[in-house]
Amino acid sequence: MPWGDKDHNTGPWGSPPSSGSGGGNNSGGGKPPSGPDFDDIVKRTIDQFRQFFPDNGDGNNKTFALLAAVAVLLWLSSGIYFVKADEQGVVMRFGAYNSTVGSGLNYHLPYPIETVETPRVTAINHVEVGFRSGATHSGKGVDQSTVDESLMLTGDENILDIDFEVQWKISSAPDFLFNIRNPEETVKTVSESAMREVIGKSQIATVLAEGKLQVAQDTKKLIQDILNSYNAGIEVVSVNLLKADPPAEVLDAQRDVQTALADMETARNQAEAYHNDIVPRARGEAQKLVLDAEAYKQEVTNRAQGEASRFMAVYNEYKVSRDVTKKRMYLETMEEILQGMNKVIIDSKGSNGVLPYLPLPELRNKSEESAK
């Protein structure tokens, strides 16, 4: 029976035609049909083929109808698929995103109505920049450098040979499939650009010494920001800075520079140590001189004040008794002058030609010897 003889309110499979974008499916927007509905579709399909090829007693029509029914069954069963535990199923209807399904056994409308992609969302992918691992040389696996990727210019206009690896995984399967054409090449290009920007803002001494970890962290953040702006559906797991050295052509010169910098730092530290030793010592000496001067000033001042007070006291006594004061002043002066000198007393008024003589130093020595 021709298709046109059927009721216009039914589709070719004996059911009302769908008005959705699926173009003749009634599976509920990409969801797998239940068991009874699928059996009903198969039964109606076989009935339609029997009506289309009526039995006129010829076995060929029955065979053809059976083969056609089997072909339709195979076509419908082609929509069965399995999603692994580390994958996500992205169902596309006529090439446009329709839904995302989890792991397990699933069903989609057969091709060309719906297709499915199953990217691995938990797998860690690697992108190498500046080198290619696993290159063969004399039967051995070696790392092959890629100069046009690895040579980068630092902020202080020095050249560095940078090799690094970026590890990433899929964070959103639909964005990953539909928003970027070549994910691995995109990640590689973005990573190289981000590393060049970070190195261009860094000093060579920082990159070669303690700043490697900071460079890797800054590069990872910049890569992630760029990929997020693309809605790439990619998460950057880590950035591993494997090598950061001057090029081989200037390695010896760079070592000389680093040696000179180390010598400069050593000389600076020695100067700082000398400064820290001599300056406090000089300040201590200066403080000592100041304190000695203050003590001397106080001593001289007190002595002058004492002398002035003594002079005033003597002057007052002199005004009261001039003769006594003069004699006492004379005796005190002679005592001060003759103190510590060898003294001999001679009496000029001696008689009978005998000179009275009193050797005081000898008497003192004899008395000291007897005392011992």
Q: Are residues 157 and 67 in the same domain?
A: no
Share above pLDDT 90 across residues of the chain, in percent, rounded to a whole number: 24
The pLDDT value recorded for residue 137 is 44
Q: Please tell me whether residues 141 and 239 are part of one structural domain.
A: yes
**pLDDT band at 7, cuts 50/70/90?**
very low
Alpha carbon 40 to its chain's center: 64
Same domain, residue pair 176 and 75: no
**Cis peptide, bond prior to residue 112, ω within 30 of zero:** yes
* In a shared domain, residues 134 and 241: yes
352 lies in a domain? yes
> Which of 70-74, 206-210, 227-231 is modeled with the greatest confidence?
227-231
Tens-place pLDDT, residues 279-318: 999 999 999 999 999 999 999 999 999 989 988 888 888 8
- Whether residue 96 is predicted with pLDDT greater than 80 in this model: the reply is no
93 lies in a domain? no
Say yes or no to pLDDT of 21 above 50: no
pLDDT given at position 43: 66
Mean pLDDT for the stretch of residues 96-100 = 73
Rg (the chain; Cα; Å): 57
pTM: 0.51
Rounded Cα–Cα distance for residues 65 and 53 (Å): 7
Residue where one domain finishes, among candidates 199, 227, 245: 245
- The Cβ of residue 274 has, within 10 Å, a number of other Cβ atoms equal to 10
Q: Range of 154's domain?
A: 125-245
- Would 97 be classed as within a structural domain? no
* Count of domains observed in the chain: 4
Mean predicted confidence (pLDDT) in 190-209: 90
Neighbouring C-alpha atoms within 13 Å toward the C-beta of 110: 9
Q: Are residues 107 and 174 in the same domain?
A: no
* Residue 209 Cα distances to 68, 202, 244, 254, 264, angstroms: 74, 12, 10, 14, 17
Whether 96 maps to a domain, the answer reads: no
Q: Tell me: pLDDT of 228 over 70.
A: yes
Q: Is residue 231 domain-shared with residue 147, that is, in the same domain?
A: yes
Q: What is the pLDDT of residue 54?
A: 56
- Do 152 and 223 reside in the same domain of the chain? yes
More confident residue, 146 or 269: 269
Classify residue 120: in a domain, yes or no.
Answer: no
Look at residues 205, 227, 245 and tell me which one is the last residue of a structural domain.
245
Residue % of the chain over a pLDDT of 70: 70
Please state, rounded to an integer, the average pLDDT across all residues of the chain: 76
pLDDT at 22: 36
Please indicate, yes or no, whether residues 9 and 83 belong to a single structural domain of this protein.
yes
* Same domain for 265 and 158: no
Q: How far from chain centre, in Å, is Cα 1?
A: 77
Q: Are residues 81 and 157 in the same domain?
A: no
For residue 136, pLDDT beyond 90: no
The per-residue pLDDT for 311 is 85
Q: Which of 245, 267, 289 finishes a domain?
A: 245
Within a domain: 275: yes
Lowest-confidence region among 19-23, 110-114, 256-260: 19-23
Q: What kind and span of H or E run contains 345?
A: strand 344-346
95 part of a folded domain: no
Residue 248: its pLDDT value, please? 79
334 and 274 inside one domain? yes
Q: Is the pLDDT of residue 12 over 50?
A: no
Helix (H, G, I), strand (E, B) or coil at 273: helix
Q: In this structure, what CATH number is given to the domain that contains residue 169?
A: 3.30.479.30
Q: Residue 94 domain-assigned?
A: no
Q: Assess whether 261 and 277 both reside in one domain.
A: yes
